[in-house]
Amino acid sequence: MHLAYPTVVAALLFSVGVYGVLARRNAILVLMSVELMLNAVNLNLVTFDVFYRDRLHGGQVLTLFTIVIAAAEIGLGLALVLLVFRNRRMVDVDRLRTLAEEPSRPAAAVEPERVEEAAP
């Protein structure tokens, strides 16, 4: 097997992932793009492991670690996206600059209305 074919496919996958992270506004699509980049890394790890005929299969072991980390990242990412959607009713990344709630005026700062007595 030639080394160029899988590395070119991995480079294309990684490029599509980078484009998705930079161009998308939806948080779920950004998470999917990060997964594409991680899969490109996994493809490169397995390709070089097969190419160098490593006895310990270090590339495949690192690929398993990467898959576990990606699964944990997606689980946490989706939990955050669902929490933000529940509170804000949107998942637009550009509009979520701050996660702080909008400030409200405390009750003590409101001045009581003055009641003027009518003159008899």
Can you give the pLDDT of all 120 residues of the chain as single tens digits?
A: 688 999 999 999 999 999 999 998 888 888 899 999 999 999 998 998 888 887 888 888 889 999 999 899 889 988 988 888 888 787 777 776 665 556 665 555 555 555 556 555
Does any domain span residue 8? yes
Does any domain span residue 97? no
In tens, the pLDDT along 31-56 reads 899 999 999 999 998 998 888 887 88
Does any domain span residue 66? yes
Q: Domain tally for the chain?
A: 1
Domain that holds residue 60: 4-91
Does any domain span residue 104? no
- With H, G, I as helix, E, B as strand and everything else as coil, classify residue 99: coil
pTM above 0.75, yes or no: no
- With H, G, I as helix, E, B as strand and everything else as coil, classify residue 92: strand
Tokens of 60: 């495949």
Does any domain span residue 57? yes
Does any domain span residue 72? yes
Does any domain span residue 69? yes
Q: Where would I find the beta strands (DSSP E) of 27-107?
A: none
Residue 31: give its domain's CATH number. Answer: 1.10.287.3510
The rounded radius of gyration (Å) of the Cα atoms in the chain is 26
